[in-house]
A and B are shown apart, each in its own frame.
Chain A
């Protein structure tokens, strides 16, 4: 349904992504595919206790097995490396790759065993004897907040990692002036992105070069620098190879602890060492769980349903250790009112530790749970006032003419036309027909509901939440770079500085460079430079690459185009402004017969210095590094800050039926209206949106890292942690809309989190619409068969 893009040659047109061919041929190069001579393998001994003191470790039997090379304990490692960095100011919380003295969650790595094969390493790991003295533990996040709760980190003094109450605008007087209010709790249980490829890393130390080479399945800002610092090496002694294909990440592939461990072992043993998580390693000890939130919300509104003010308390259970993940309470500040004209907000984020697997960044960095919490309120208000949910949203949505729109917490939304997108998706879904379908199903005795959600995808990833939640961190720079060159043969090569996990960055870069240079993107080679050869990058986080890498690549290409024009102008005897550039050739505007071809311009730049304009560098190469648009400011004392620059909008409509007996939800129709500005490659944007919705379906209905009271993870395999298959994900229809961003090179916004940000809210809305005739309501995700079956049983029992 995409409209043909205006004014672009390659951008927005259907093009085959450059990456796809190698993947369908089975020629992807993932970290587990890289074989080095003499490579050794790591297996891990994990804690069976949620909290315990390590009394003794006996590895004698393990070390006696043939071809076992080493057994590493937390004591040895902690003495040789720095702890994993943390985003919050928590000097007393030490996070070591292997537990030192105390274990704090089931699955925490205690001992690493190295052998010539993974199987042998696992054999040896089974022979390691660890004696533990169990300690009191705490699993429930609210219990962990109690003053007498067992401390996860005794030295820290409490289980609260972060707590602050922000007040933006006259919240109390707005509440007092409003005729109505609601208060509700919304629960987002722990799930994550759980890529099909687990995390893996391999390192090789060269004593001769004093250089650590690293190959990793990584998606992490400043990974090379953090790794070097932890290993006490200069930054230029760690070379991360970004030409490793990453088998999915969506935020979580931040295996810094794995990498520190492997880097240390590679240096100690003088051999390449690799750690490829198995599925249980990944789900239990891989430290890759996602947000686990309790929202307590009040909204104040008038009789017409217009919301004036909101108070939100968000408790986030980050598990046993803090990394960057607690900052996921900060990112939603940039869209804390969603797409609505809420004038004042009180926001109280609370980060609490429990004896569970640590949390990591997940797609949207806290935004999807927050969107679910806000949308739950919108439905409740509509129900309370008897106002149609769509009409209620229309009354509250920011209007097109109000952009740029400043929200109370300090961010300004760049552009949008929310009403138009909502209207479009309702038309595509044929809303009235959908209502008839639902009502017919109800008349036939079935539980049927329609769900709606509207939400934003903040994009162009900045890191403004770092200084917002940690005053000692003054990070305001979140740049991205790209280098483009034209070689002597006239071939174009662009170098990016990060690995990719399915986002199609090579296609992105080739398309925008091709757009600027007017050269066929299929002829442009895009490489992933290693960290020593690369320009600065902050990696593909926060839906930023279309904006930031796209902008960097375009910026470099524009510099090259300017050079080409200057060379032509110099040789044609005209001013550069009087030169016309077209498809790689440059001619005189006044006399088109005066023309230099691409080959001629390249020849001059590479071989004929005597024909070069004075002062111009020979060769054709340019770099562009730029800061996030609107970035660069620290928060105000009351915690207002511009978070991300660009705001994409999505409106979901979903039709669902629930089996009365089992509680099984079936999604029968799914529509989403989506406006992410100018799409660079529509197939890629659509693919990420479909996938984001599928991921959201998982978070809404199936996926949960469930713990028992003893701190045991009950869903550590794909038999228990249920990822939606082609049976659970319905056919989805995307309705595109385009409101260009005024802040970006081509009007593009981000889309890497699309779908996921609104799907859980929409599905919850549909489930509750289906339950409404029974007088039932549920505001906890995932709405599993067990949860809904139990809820429905309460009604059956009452009959």
Chain B
């Protein structure tokens, strides 16, 4: 199996490795870099559990080879929080609303929602449903996820406004 050098930025860190041509990006993240927050659910590009940001766009890391990510900026769920002890507003909103159960689809869901909020600070429920439409969740029926993303959007929009505003939940 031929090996190929790749260098990419993952969660702000430069990572280099020699990888087999057939190694998928999800396996590279999970097994080579030990970033196990990204999950492999269907490995044929439908469920969205493996969603990561590549150069700012959500992509299926099971449908990409690691060599295709050479030179790219990758963000995984481990890269969403501001620091090791904290959570992003979106992550915290998922906790506040209980927008998950088993947690398996959650990293992909967070990435998809994060990408939405980056480009649209005031999404409608329909916008949110569209943004997570490629991420299957078997536990929640999506309702609390939509609520959590809407809550995060409200909180993020209010971040620079003077009081009164919603009580912070920490993180």
- Residues on A lying within 8 angstroms of B by beta carbon are 16-17, 19-28, 30, 32-33, 35, 119, 193-198, 245-250, 278-279, 501-504, 683-684, 686-695, 717-719, 723, 725-727, 729, 731-732, 755
The residue from B41, B78, B98, B130 contacting A16, defined by CB atoms under 8 A apart: B98
Scan B116-137; emit 1 where CB is below 8 A from any A CB, else 0: 0000000001001110111111
Is B165 an interface residue, CB under 8 A from the partner? no
Knowing A23-B103, A27-B37, A726-B129, the reply to whether A717 touches B44 (Cβ < 8 A) is: yes
The residue from A20, A196, A688 contacting B49, defined by CB atoms under 8 A apart: A196
Task: Count chain B CB atoms within 10 A of each CB in A19, A20, A501, A731 and give the residue with the most.
Answer: A20
Q: Apart from A196-B105, A245-B103, list 13 A-B contacts with CB within 8 A.
A: A20-B100, A24-B91, A24-B92, A25-B81, A25-B87, A119-B20, A196-B41, A196-B47, A502-B102, A725-B135, A726-B145, A727-B129, A732-B141
Q: Distance (Å) between the CB of B11 and the closest chain A CB?
A: 10
Closest 9 CB pairs of A and B: A26-B37, A23-B103, A247-B104, A502-B102, A502-B101, A690-B141, A26-B77, A694-B141, A718-B46
Scan B84-107; emit 1 where CB is below 8 A from any A CB, else 0: 000100011011111011111111
Question: Can you offer 9 A-B residue contacts whose CB atoms are under 8 A?
Answer: A24-B87, A32-B40, A197-B102, A684-B101, A687-B101, A691-B138, A694-B137, A695-B141, A718-B44
Complex: A689 Cα to B140 Cα, angstroms: 8
Complex: A250 Cα to B101 Cα, angstroms: 11
Is B159 an interface residue, CB under 8 A from the partner? no
- Residues on B lying within 8 angstroms of A by beta carbon are 20, 22, 30, 34-44, 46-47, 49, 76-78, 80-81, 87, 91-92, 94-98, 100-107, 110, 125, 128-130, 132-146
Residues from chain B with a CB closer than 8 A to the CB of A33 are: 30, 36
Task: Count chain A CB atoms within 10 A of each CB in B110, B142, B144 and give the residue with the most.
Answer: B142
Q: In this complex, what residue of A is CB-closest to B41?
A: A196
Knowing A23-B106, A30-B104, A279-B44, the reply to whether A196 touches B142 (Cβ < 8 A) is: no
Residues from chain B with a CB closer than 8 A to the CB of A689 are: 141
A690 near B37 (CB under 8 angstroms)?
no
Complex: A279 Cα to B132 Cα, angstroms: 21
Residues from chain B with a CB closer than 8 A to the CB of A755 are: 141
Residues from chain A with a CB closer than 8 A to the CB of B92 are: 24
The residue from A27, A28, A693 contacting B104, defined by CB atoms under 8 A apart: A28
A25 near B44 (CB under 8 angstroms)?
no
The residue from A30, A246, A691, A729 contacting B39, defined by CB atoms under 8 A apart: A30
Residues from chain B with a CB closer than 8 A to the CB of A695 are: 138, 141
A26 near B76 (CB under 8 angstroms)?
yes
B interface: dominant SS? loop
Residues from chain B with a CB closer than 8 A to the CB of A727 are: 129-130, 133
Complex: A695 Cα to B136 Cα, angstroms: 11
Residues from chain B with a CB closer than 8 A to the CB of A718 are: 42, 44, 46-47, 136
Q: In this complex, what residue of B is CB-closest to A690?
A: B141
Complex: A202 Cα to B107 Cα, angstroms: 23
B96 near A731 (CB under 8 angstroms)?
no
Residues from chain A with a CB closer than 8 A to the CB of B146 are: 726, 731
Knowing A245-B103, A691-B139, A731-B125, the reply to whether A279 touches B98 (Cβ < 8 A) is: no
B44 near A719 (CB under 8 angstroms)?
yes
Residues from chain A with a CB closer than 8 A to the CB of B87 are: 21, 24-25
B104 near A196 (CB under 8 angstroms)?
yes
Q: Distance (Å) between the CB of A714 and the closest chain B CB?
A: 16
Complex: A32 Cα to B31 Cα, angstroms: 10
A248 near B102 (CB under 8 angstroms)?
yes
Complex: A32 Cα to B81 Cα, angstroms: 23
Complex: A717 Cα to B103 Cα, angstroms: 22
Q: Distance (Å) between the CB of A765 and the closest chain B CB?
A: 19
Residues from chain B with a CB closer than 8 A to the CB of A195 are: 102, 104, 138
Task: Count chain A CB atoms within 10 A of each CB in B37, B38, B40, B103 and give the residue with the most.
Answer: B103
Complex: A687 Cα to B145 Cα, angstroms: 10
Residues from chain A with a CB closer than 8 A to the CB of B105 are: 196
Residues from chain B with a CB closer than 8 A to the CB of A278 are: 43
Task: Count chain A CB atoms within 10 A of each CB in B22, B42, B144 and give the residue with the most.
Answer: B42
Complex: A718 Cα to B41 Cα, angstroms: 10
The residue from B38, B41, B98, B139 contacting A26, defined by CB atoms under 8 A apart: B38
Residues from chain A with a CB closer than 8 A to the CB of B133 are: 725-727
Residues from chain A with a CB closer than 8 A to the CB of B128 are: 726
Q: Distance (Å) between the CB of B108 and the closest chain A CB?
A: 9
Knowing A16-B95, A197-B41, A718-B136, the reply to whether A688 touches B36 (Cβ < 8 A) is: no
Complex: A246 Cα to B139 Cα, angstroms: 12
B136 near A725 (CB under 8 angstroms)?
yes
Residues from chain B with a CB closer than 8 A to the CB of A28 are: 37, 103-104, 106
B142 near A694 (CB under 8 angstroms)?
yes
Residues from chain A with a CB closer than 8 A to the CB of B95 are: 16-17, 20-21, 24
Complex: A162 Cα to B145 Cα, angstroms: 43
Residues from chain B with a CB closer than 8 A to the CB of A198 are: 41
Knowing A24-B95, A25-B77, A694-B142, the reply to whether A196 touches B137 (Cβ < 8 A) is: yes
Q: Distance (Å) between the CB of B148 and the closest chain A CB?
A: 9
A726 near B102 (CB under 8 angstroms)?
no
Complex: A727 Cα to B78 Cα, angstroms: 28
A24 near B100 (CB under 8 angstroms)?
yes
Complex: A195 Cα to B39 Cα, angstroms: 13
Residues from chain B with a CB closer than 8 A to the CB of A723 are: 47, 136, 138
Complex: A755 Cα to B141 Cα, angstroms: 10
B140 near A690 (CB under 8 angstroms)?
yes
A688 near B138 (CB under 8 angstroms)?
no
Q: In this complex, what residue of B is CB-closest to A34?
A: B36
Complex: A793 Cα to B136 Cα, angstroms: 32
A688 near B101 (CB under 8 angstroms)?
yes
Residues from chain A with a CB closer than 8 A to the CB of B137 are: 196, 691, 694
Q: Distance (Å) between the CB of B123 and the closest chain A CB?
A: 13
B103 near A502 (CB under 8 angstroms)?
yes
Q: Distance (Å) between the CB of B1 and the closest chain A CB?
A: 9
B34 near A35 (CB under 8 angstroms)?
yes
Q: Distance (Å) between the CB of A244 and the closest chain B CB?
A: 12
Q: Distance (Å) between the CB of B83 and the closest chain A CB?
A: 11
Residues from chain B with a CB closer than 8 A to the CB of A245 are: 102-103
Residues from chain B with a CB closer than 8 A to the CB of A691 are: 101, 137-141
Complex: A395 Cα to B41 Cα, angstroms: 47
Residues from chain A with a CB closer than 8 A to the CB of B91 are: 24-25
B136 near A683 (CB under 8 angstroms)?
no
Residues from chain B with a CB closer than 8 A to the CB of A250 are: 138
The residue from A19, A249, A683 contacting B103, defined by CB atoms under 8 A apart: A19
Q: In this complex, what residue of B is CB-closest to A731?
A: B143
Task: Count chain B CB atoms within 10 A of each CB in A22, A684, A731 and give the residue with the most.
Answer: A731
Q: In this complex, what residue of B is CB-closest to A247?
A: B104
Residues from chain B with a CB closer than 8 A to the CB of A729 are: 141-143
A502 near B139 (CB under 8 angstroms)?
yes
Complex: A723 Cα to B138 Cα, angstroms: 8
Q: Distance (Å) between the CB of A181 and the closest chain B CB?
A: 38
A279 near B36 (CB under 8 angstroms)?
no
A24 near B138 (CB under 8 angstroms)?
no
